Amino acid sequence: MDPSEVLEGTGLVIGQLESHTTRISYRQLDTVIRNALRLAGDPAIALRSGARMHVTAYGMYGYALLSSATHAEARDFAARYIRVVGPFCDFGLSYDRETVVATFQPMHWPNPTESVHRFAVEFALAAHLTTIRDRSGQGFGFSRVLLDYTPPPSAAAYRDLFGCPILFNQHHCGYEYARNDGPRALANPRTHAMAREMCEEILGEVNRAGGVAADIRRILIERPGRYPSIEAIAEQLDIYPRALRRRLEAEGTSYRSLLSEVRMRLAIEYLRKTRMTNEEIASRLGYSDAANFRHAFSRWTGRNPSEFRGEEGL
């Protein structure tokens, strides 16, 4: 692919991507992904691209992972500082005695029926596998992979890359693998401390620059069906409404887009995990009636709620 074609419509030029000071909005990233999907003609492009993301591509974040004292420390660092590398997905870890469970959700593409959602998940999965192998050895593998969408055209490539059971139509995306908390051969406390300090500074900059959209998502999710206006949110965040709108625009989003995103994410969760009727879901999401909810859901996903539940086997 011609890189300039991939950047079409973003306002970016190739030279800007070579500078560590360049900040890319999620609107620009969305355009890049859609251009790549249109131009590639390869259903597995996200898997192949993610698999090329070796740990050294992540700068100080990668050096901190490689120099961690133990595998447990590397895992915890990876989750805590993931926003330093501009992730496609929110990322979390949980454990039992023998297994590590990683779960993630695309930050700006919650609709599992959209190709950009699948791109983000595929890229993240493949990149995680590559970086863990870089720090744990090429013999590392996932024990299973979980995905919240139906089998895509690239399903065969999943089996080839991951070599483990692939479970589609799940309630979330993620992977599992055998837990190893032991020491690492490349541990270097001095290098790790320096890299961690720099990542802490970068994380602070990222949070200051891009925290408004995350704050608004949190506020909206905490108040389903009773969504405050942008003026009320601005007052809560101690910022003028006009300034809040400008900051959201700089982040490539808007209050209306965030509200729609939160409603869609909650609607999908309700349809998947509960037996609530359309009327009940409409009320939970702040719609005046079920018809308005059905219309909105069809606009988001291209399917009505009943079709979504039917295709999901619910």
Q: If pLDDT is split at 50, 70 and 90, which confidence band does 213 have?
A: confident
Of 300, 274, 275, which is closest to residue 287 (Cα–Cα)? 300
pLDDT value at position 210? 57
User: Residue 124: pLDDT above 90?
Assistant: yes
Strand 144-146 with 173-178, pairing: antiparallel
Residue boundaries of the structural domains of the chain: 42-187, 211-311
pLDDT value at position 154? 87
pLDDT value at position 90? 80
User: Residue 211: pLDDT above 60?
Assistant: yes
Q: What is the mean pLDDT of residues 207-226?
A: 78
**Residue that the structure tokens 């969408």 belong to:** 149
DSSP 3-39: HHHHTTTTT--HHHHT-TT----HHHHHHHHHHHHHH
* Radius of gyration, alpha carbons of the chain: 20
8-21, pLDDT tens digit by residue? 999 999 888 877 66
Residue of higher predicted confidence among 128 and 88: 128
pLDDT value at position 209? 61
User: Residue 314: pLDDT above 60?
Assistant: no
Instruction: Give the helix/strand (H/E) hosting 175.
Output: strand 173-178
- What is the DSSP secondary structure assignment for residue 276, as one 8-state letter? -
Residue of higher predicted confidence among 202 and 181: 181
77: left (phi over 0), alpha (psi -120 to 50) or beta: alpha
22 burial level (CB within 10 Å; 0-12, 13-18, 19+): exposed
The two three-digit tokens of residue 207, written as one number: 């949070």
- Contact between 128 and 175 under an 8 Å Cβ cutoff? The reply is yes
Q: If pLDDT is split at 50, 70 and 90, which confidence band does 87 have?
A: low
**Residue that the structure tokens 């018809």 belong to:** 291
Instruction: Give the helix/strand (H/E) hosting 102.
Output: strand 99-106
User: Residue 7: pLDDT above 80?
Assistant: yes
The C-alpha angle 24, 25, 26, rounded to 5 degrees, equals: 120
- Contact between 264 and 300 under an 8 Å Cβ cutoff? The reply is yes
pLDDT value at position 105? 84
241-258, pLDDT tens digit by residue? 999 998 888 777 899 999
168 burial level (CB within 10 Å; 0-12, 13-18, 19+): middle
pLDDT value at position 19? 72
Q: What is the mean pLDDT of residues 38-66?
A: 92
pLDDT value at position 297? 94
Q: What is the mean pLDDT of residues 116-135?
A: 95
On average, the pLDDT of the chain sits at 89
CA distance 298 to 305: 8
pLDDT value at position 224? 76
Amino acid at the residue 26: Y
pLDDT value at position 20? 64
The two three-digit tokens of residue 255, written as one number: 């209050």
pLDDT value at position 61? 92
DSSP 230-263: HHHHHHHTTS-HHHHHHHHHHTT--HHHHHHHHH
Strand 166-167 with 144-146, pairing: parallel
pLDDT value at position 109? 85
265-294, pLDDT tens digit by residue? 889 888 988 888 999 999 989 999 999 999
CATH of domain 211-311: 1.10.10.60
Percent of the chain with pLDDT over 90: 57
